[in-house]
A and B are shown apart, each in its own frame.
Chain A
Amino acid sequence: MDKKEISVKNALIHGDALTKLSAIVMGAGMIGHKQIVKGLMVLACEVAFVFYMIGTGLHSLSMLPSLGTQAQEKVWNEAKQIYEYTVGDNSQQILLAGVVTCFVIAAIVLLWILQLRHSYNLQKTLEKKGHVPTFKEDIFNLFDKNLHITLMTLPCLGILIFNIVPLVYMISMAFTSYSKEGEHLILFDWNGLTQFQRVLNLQGNIGRQFFQVLRWTIIWAIFATFLNYILGMILAMIINRKDTKWKAFWRFCFVLSIAVPQFVMLMIMNIMLQPSGAINVLLKNLGWISTSLPFWTDATWAKITIIIINLWIGIPYTMLQVTGILQNIPAELYEAAKMDGAGPVKIFFKITLPYMLFVTTPYLISSFVGNINNFNVIYLLSGGGPTYVGDTAGQTDLLVTWLYKLTVDQQYYNLGAVIGIMTFIILTIITLVTYRNSSSYKNEEAFM
């Protein structure tokens, strides 16, 4: 049967009484068309939905526009001779309940469409004396041609409940006054784009910090991605050189540093580079310096230190990842270049690098995204510091670490949500632009 014919519109116009009935009593069409168990299950969903809406859903929806108005109050209880607290509204819970209700409604609408189309389909099949799958056959199909439904339902539910719902919830916070500023932690209101204006206003304190953090985030991501990439590639090439001996041993030395959990290594580095940490002690004992080097106390030092330590962490990864791809570069290319008298540096920039860029653009994009969102390195190394008085963002804070500080430490939830949204927008733009302009997107077929 033509798939286009099975639509909600057709079901409502051409459907028989039972199909039309299922627009109100969900599952009626299935029960009437020989799929009783399935129909009853759909009906149960509708009943549950109605009970949910009457129980809490309608209330949460009605509270959503105001986000609650009743503050907690102290009331004198004459009989007990004490002050009692009335239960006030909690805007954060109201918002969460509202978001969840919206998702529940969306789910029931989806189910409504699906069951209506399905009933119509069943009706048509029966009219043509076709075979309607029994419940047993449906179950069997869930393990055969519909296996993807069985396999993907739980993971999708997990993603929906613990990734998409939280994200929508957090995004909606950006449009409220949910913040410690002005004591809006329990009761807050919608306030539109105010927070966005604050963040984008270069004159304001928050705006100034935002652009400062953004600049460092991008500088950091560029350095961390490309330095790691190029130096890691050079290291891999040096180890794989024909004349290099003990290849496995060298590789082992570098891989060992990946094997140690990253956060442990970062914390150790942080301690080692403190003013009286091991590195300063070593340098002093050797007589090379007389006062400690300001690894974390000076903004420029801290930035350079972070980039260098990230090299220490990242280079072995790149080395591992590119080794296989490097060996795929056609040998003819190198031979031709050597014939023309190109030196190793020229060969690297004219052949190896373009080839690698061509093959690994997707990898580069994902590692760039990873670096912009690289929380651990900054948080555990410098903690975002040094921080100037009056700022919430330190000199080495990335957007993510600032987001963390704003929400977890300062409880400026609305501002944090705005920063998160901005990060997402920036990443989307960068990803789309680089991906569209990459040669692997323009010309999927071949290199050169």
Chain B
Amino acid sequence: MEDTKRNKLSPRKRLTNFLVHLLLAVLAVIWVLPIFWIILTSFRAEPGAYTNTFLPQGYTLANYIKLFTDRNVLNFPKMFKNTLIIAICCCFFSTFFVLSVAYSLSRMRFKFRKPYMNIAMILGLFPGFMAMIAQYFILKAMGLTEGSAIRIGLIIVYSACTGLGFQIAKGFFDTIPRSIDEAAVMDGATQWQVFTRITMPLAKPIVIYTVMTSFIAPWVDFIFAKVICRANADQFTVAIGLWNMLQKEYIYQWYTCFAAGAVIISIPIAILFIYMQRFYVEGMSGAVKG
């Protein structure tokens, strides 16, 4: 079967096919190699960032154990807990904000609709940092930059402006036929009931997508967290912790732990991402079509 098929292809085509697969294999190696290397490093027995060999000489689980038990220098478990709390709250607020705005813009017609979308576009052109530094001053004026109030500050910073990121969810809502809503309204449903009982169940994929993206945000952002936490070490999030492990004073002792930490936070995010992939693609092509 395989042979007859192969015989049908001309030698030229067979050569192209071979070259294409070779190219893909080389590219795949380039793309997978750094990931593979970081996983190996997380099990490396020798400390330090720079070693004389590409592959580790000995393997150990000590890096992972140290990461979760050493609380004196860099308290990773505490950071993990902080980030988890922030992520859960953010997830709740952001999802509500994004879906509310997206639904209103997609389904309701009101005077402020077009201006809102234009304002959102204009605000998107400002560098994110410009607002960030002033946000710090505002949070400071509100007393949210000291002690455990920093957590509230971070939750606010991560979720307050999410109403600007409505595009993908709106694109999805736009694809749900309006006739469904109209039928429900005929049967006496209020807009609120349409939103909660009809649109939400139909939009499950985009709800899940929004929940996941807003859950991931605090884990992968490090710059907002760094500016707002400043030197309050017990409020650090995982991202700042990982960044600190690579600073001069820690890198020799902590480099392999950094690799372990990277692997640990990458696993859940990778799983979420691979699951979300199809919504990402759908949202993208939907937004472009619209």
Chain B contact residues: helix, strand, loop or mixed: helix
Most buried by A among B125, B127, B191, B262: B127
Is the Cβ of A166 less than 8 Å from the Cβ of B131?
A: yes
- Cβ contact within 8 Å between B126 and A424: yes
Name which of B28, B163, B242 has the most chain A CB atoms within 10 A of its CB. Answer: B163
A214 contacts chain B at the CB level, 8 A cutoff: no
State the Cβ distance, A74 to closest chain B Cβ, in Å. Answer: 25
Q: Which of B51, B130, B192 has the most CB of A within 10 A?
A: B130
A250 and B29 alpha carbons, distance in the complex (Å): 10
Check if B141 sits within 8 Å of A379, measured CB to CB: no
Tell me if B77 counts as interface (CB < 8 A to partner A). no
Q: Is the CB of A162 within 8 A of B156?
A: yes
Q: Write the nearest CB–CB distance from A174 to chain B, whole angstroms.
A: 10
Tell me which residues across on chain A come within 8 A of B258, comparing CB atoms. Answer: 267
Is A325's CB under 8 angstroms from B130's CB?
Answer: no
A155 x B246 contact (CB < 8 A): no
CA A148 – CA B123 in complex, angstroms?
21
Residues of A within 8 A of B129 (CB): 375, 400, 403-404, 407, 420
B266 in contact with A285 (CB, 8 Å): no
B135 within 8 A of A: yes
Least distance between A333 CB and chain B CB atoms (Å): 18
Q: Which of B104, B122, B270 contacts A151 (CB 8 A)?
A: B104
Q: How far is the CA of A269 from the CA of B190 in the complex (A)?
A: 54
User: Could you say which of A170, A267, A379 contacts B134, with CB atoms under 8 Å apart?
Assistant: A170
Give chain A nearest CB distance to B268 CB in angstroms: 10
Q: List B contacts of A272 (CB < 8 A).
A: 34, 37
Interface string of B181-219 (1 = CB under 8 A from A): 000000000111001000000000000000000000001
The answer on a CB contact under 8 Å between A166 and B138 is: yes
Interface residues of chain A: helix, strand, loop or mixed (majority) = helix
**CB-CB < 8 A to B191: which residues of A?**
143-145, 147
- Residues 265 to 290 of chain A near chain B (Cβ within 8 Å): 265, 267-272, 274, 276-278, 281-282, 285
The reply to whether A423 and B137 form a contact with Cβ atoms under 8 Å apart is: no
In whole angstroms, what is the CA distance A335 to B155 when docked?
54
Given the known inter-chain contacts A148-B104, A264-B242, please indicate yes or no for A403 contacting B13, CB distance below 8 A. no
Complex contacts, B113 vs chain A, CB 8 Å: 148
**Does B35 contact A235, Cβ atoms closer than 8 Å?**
no
Distance of A218 Cα from B282 Cα, bound (Å)? 31
Taking the nearest CB of chain A, how far is it from the CB of B246, in angstroms? 6
Q: Hey, which chain A residues are within 8 Å of B162, CB to CB?
A: 155, 158
In chain A between 230 and 266, which residues have their CB closer than 8 angstroms to a CB of chain B? Answer: 235, 238-239, 241, 243-245, 250, 253-265
Q: Is A413 an interface residue (CB 8 A)?
A: yes
Cβ of A360 under 8 Å from chain B: yes
- Could you say which of A166, A260, A428 contacts B35, with CB atoms under 8 Å apart? A260
The residue of chain B having its C-beta at the shortest distance from the C-beta of A249 within the complex is: B28
B161 at the interface (CB under 8 A from A): yes
Chain B residues with CB under 8 Å of A253's CB are 28, 31-32
Report if B53 contacts A (CB, 8 A): yes
| Residues of chain B in range 112-140 having any CB-CB distance to chain A below 8 Å | 112-113, 116, 122-135, 137-138
- Chain A neighbourhood of B89, CB < 8 A: none
Tell me the nearest residue of chain A to B243, going by C-beta. A267
Contacts of B100 in A (CB 8 A): 151-152, 154-155
Could you jot down 16 A-B contacts, CB within 8 Å?
Answer: A154-B96, A167-B130, A170-B133, A238-B24, A243-B20, A254-B27, A255-B273, A258-B273, A261-B262, A324-B285, A362-B287, A375-B129, A400-B129, A404-B223, A423-B126, A428-B125
- 5 tightest CB-CB pairs across the interface, nearest first? A155-B163, A166-B134, A259-B270, A158-B160, A151-B100
